[in-house]
Amino acid sequence: MRKLVHADRVIRHDGVLGDAVLIEDGVIVAIGEHAELQRPNVPEEPFPGATIIPGLRDAHFHPIWYADLLDGISLKSATSIAEVQQRLSRAAEKSPGRGPLHASRLDDDHLVDRRLPTSDDLDAAVPDRPVLVTRYCGHVATANSAALAAAGITAATPDPPGGSFDRYESGEPTGVLRETAIGMVVGAVPRPRVGVNELLHAMRMLASLGLTSIGAMLRFGDEVDAIVAVAAELPIKVHAYIIADTPEELRTAIDSAGGRLQWQGIKRFADGSFGAHTAAMVEPFTDVDTLGTLRLTDYDRTLAAESLTLGGDVAFHGIGDRAIAAILDQFEELIADGWSPDRFRIEHASVLTGDLVERIAHTGVIASVQPAFLPSETDWLEARVGSERMPRTYPLRSLLDAGALLAGGSDCPVESPNPFWGMAAAIDRAGIVPEEGLTSAELFTEGSAAALKQPRPLAIGSPADFVVVDRNPLTATPDELRATTVLDTYVDGTPVLVDRTLPWWDA
């Protein structure tokens, strides 16, 4: 079936293509002027005054975490440990029983206490059931005594590979868990599985923001099971990167894909985050004398090779320059074995000192970047990395000028899922090293489409995945971009925006 969608203009990052899109059976068959594309008996869907843009793709997203957060305990706006305690106490009262409480999005840099809570702090609020509070980066958390006990963590428990327990001088754990240590508690006091309705609600909210595809980071097990349960009803396309620990887990995930859920590859971690002081750095952090945590091992290369052999890609999380160099060492070995460079992604690629920009561009691997990190980290980024490393922190312009392929994402719910906020941050960078700003929105269209192995967006022969918005993003200022309203979202030629008033974000 054919139909014609028209507005004031149809644009890609490279300019105006016309004012109408002709669709047949979910595929774009023509783009041009409305008057020339009109056909007898072809229905039309007009959007006067609006702009048609490519469907927006978020290359790095955590959909289960996001759906869980929408109905969970958010500590984003908490300004003190006392307020954290109050919120946890209220949550316990609203949910009586002995089941675990999970809270997230805590930002200790915005607490007047200027520290993470300890297990003693959490015990004072909720002493009789397990509690786990996760920092908004997801790389450090605090467990109360009940949660530590459920996981069997004591002073005698050694630090796990790739993680650590903060300890008092006596050796007793403070309750603060870093990197893989978090998983020990999550395994003992898991979150309730996200329901089908909650997850579909979250996916519809993403459509209301103009997202037609996401690169979904999914832990094998409950997270994969949750997305598989809604695969037949997904309003947008989900490309799954599995956080897997064995080849068997990868194979199981592949077999479960279907509908708008596509298996895309494996996700592994080379280090942690700035906020947790676990990003693996060549030189120590400026505010704490640590080089962070390098998690990458030879086994990660083995799993990467397995993913490639099974037809998938490889996405390695790397924030610190030491981690990124180690990732590139492994990627270059695999590329030398004959694998195509575009099968490899570095997630975040945050600190690129020395020759790392040039190495990324030269090897042809994809830099999966999250511009919205910049406004969130304005208050403390330089304190972490120091003034000398700032020019090479999130160096988006340098990467692009060197010829690297950049894919845009949000890392939601670490940051807002709104792609227009990400576009704006890529341009103005919240004033942080402004010369590294970008001038076009291709990060969230062509760049992310390439990373997800999709055809060129808004092109003849490509799926009719596009968005109708109330303004021209090519001429909008960063503030105007942030205020963009999505009028409709099309996936495979079908409008999927059912409610543009959905509450999509809790700031």
Domain of 138: which CATH number? Answer: 3.10.310.70
pLDDT-derived band at 95 (thresholds 50, 70, 90) equals: confident
- Decide if pLDDT at 142 tops 50: yes
Candidates 57, 122, 70, 118; CA nearest to 92 is 122
pLDDT-derived band at 128 (thresholds 50, 70, 90) equals: very high
Class of residue 117 by CB neighbours under 10 A (exposed 0-12, middle 13-18, buried 19+): buried
Residues 196-225 have pLDDT tens digits of 999 999 999 999 999 999 999 999 999 999
Beta bridge partners of 466: 54, 490
Please check whether residues 409 and 261 belong to one and the same domain: yes
Residue after which a domain boundary falls, among 136, 156, 188: 188
Let me know if residue 12 belongs to a domain.
Answer: no
Please check whether residues 220 and 181 belong to one and the same domain: no
Let me know if residue 78 belongs to a domain.
Answer: no
Class of residue 258 by CB neighbours under 10 A (exposed 0-12, middle 13-18, buried 19+): exposed
Please check whether residues 357 and 374 belong to one and the same domain: yes
| Residue 507: predicted pLDDT | 39
Regarding predicted confidence, which is higher, 299 or 68? 299
Q: Which residues contact 503 (CB under 8 A, 6 or more apart)?
A: 205
Candidates 214, 184, 187; CA nearest to 199 is 214
Residues 218 and 266 sit within 8 Å (Cβ to Cβ): no
CA distances from 283 to 165, 268, 292, 347, 493 (A): 22, 23, 10, 21, 51
pLDDT-derived band at 470 (thresholds 50, 70, 90) equals: very high
Please check whether residues 419 and 271 belong to one and the same domain: yes
Let me know if residue 503 belongs to a domain.
Answer: no
Please check whether residues 459 and 324 belong to one and the same domain: yes
Please check whether residues 129 and 267 belong to one and the same domain: no
- Decide if pLDDT at 502 tops 80: no
How many degrees, rounded to 5, is the angle at CA 231 between CA 226 and CA 236? Answer: 110
Residues 347-404 have pLDDT tens digits of 999 999 999 999 999 999 999 999 999 999 999 999 999 999 999 999 999 999 999 9
The side-by-side arrangement of strands in the sheet containing 140-143 is 73-74, 101-106, 131-135, 140-143, 173-179, 163-167
Mark out the alpha helices in 455-496 (DSSP H runs).
Answer: 478-482
| Residue 501: predicted pLDDT | 63
pLDDT-derived band at 240 (thresholds 50, 70, 90) equals: very high
Please check whether residues 150 and 270 belong to one and the same domain: no
Residue after which a domain boundary falls, among 134, 159, 188: 188
- Decide if pLDDT at 330 tops 80: yes
d(CA 254, CA 313): 12
Report strand pairing: 211-219 vs 56-61: parallel
- Decide if pLDDT at 184 tops 60: yes
Please check whether residues 171 and 243 belong to one and the same domain: no
Rounded mean pLDDT of the chain?
95
Let me know if residue 314 belongs to a domain.
Answer: yes
- According to the 3-state scheme, what is the secondary structure of 75-137? CCCCCCHHHHHHHHHHHHHHCCCCCCEEEEEECHHHCCCCCCCCHHHHHHHCCCCCEEEEECC
State pTM to two decimals: 0.93
Query: Exposure pattern of 217-251 as b/e (b: 16+ CB <10 Å)?
Result: bbbbbebbebbbbbbeebbbbbbbbbbbeebebbe
Mean pLDDT of 303-311: 98
- Decide if pLDDT at 503 tops 70: no
Q: 142: which 2 tokens? A: 């605090």
Please check whether residues 181 and 298 belong to one and the same domain: no
Which residues span the domain enclosing 325? Answer: 58-63+194-495
Mean pLDDT of 88-113: 92
Please check whether residues 118 and 202 belong to one and the same domain: no
Candidates 118, 170, 128; CA nearest to 149 is 128
| Residue 96: predicted pLDDT | 84
| Residue 500: predicted pLDDT | 63
Q: Residue 333 — φ and ψ, nearest 5°?
A: -65, -45
| Residue 192: predicted pLDDT | 83
The percentage of residues in the chain with a pLDDT greater than 90, rounded to a whole number, is 91
Number of domains in the chain: 2
| Residue 283: predicted pLDDT | 98
- Decide if pLDDT at 505 tops 60: no
pLDDT-derived band at 341 (thresholds 50, 70, 90) equals: very high
| Residue 163: predicted pLDDT | 93
Amino acid at 204: R
Residue after which a domain boundary falls, among 188, 207, 224: 188
Regarding predicted confidence, which is higher, 255 or 146? 146
Please check whether residues 416 and 471 belong to one and the same domain: yes
Let me know if residue 273 belongs to a domain.
Answer: yes
Amino acid at 158: P
CA distances from 131 to 101, 161, 205, 215, 315 (A): 5, 23, 29, 30, 31
Q: Which range has the worst mean pLDDT, 11-15, 121-125, 318-322, 348-352?
A: 11-15
Mean pLDDT of 291-299: 97
Let me know if residue 7 belongs to a domain.
Answer: no
d(CA 185, CA 177): 9
d(CA 483, CA 460): 30
Please check whether residues 287 and 142 belong to one and the same domain: no
- Decide if pLDDT at 106 tops 80: yes
Let me know if residue 77 belongs to a domain.
Answer: no
Let me know if residue 312 belongs to a domain.
Answer: yes
Domain of 380: which CATH number? Answer: 3.20.20.140
d(CA 85, CA 105): 14
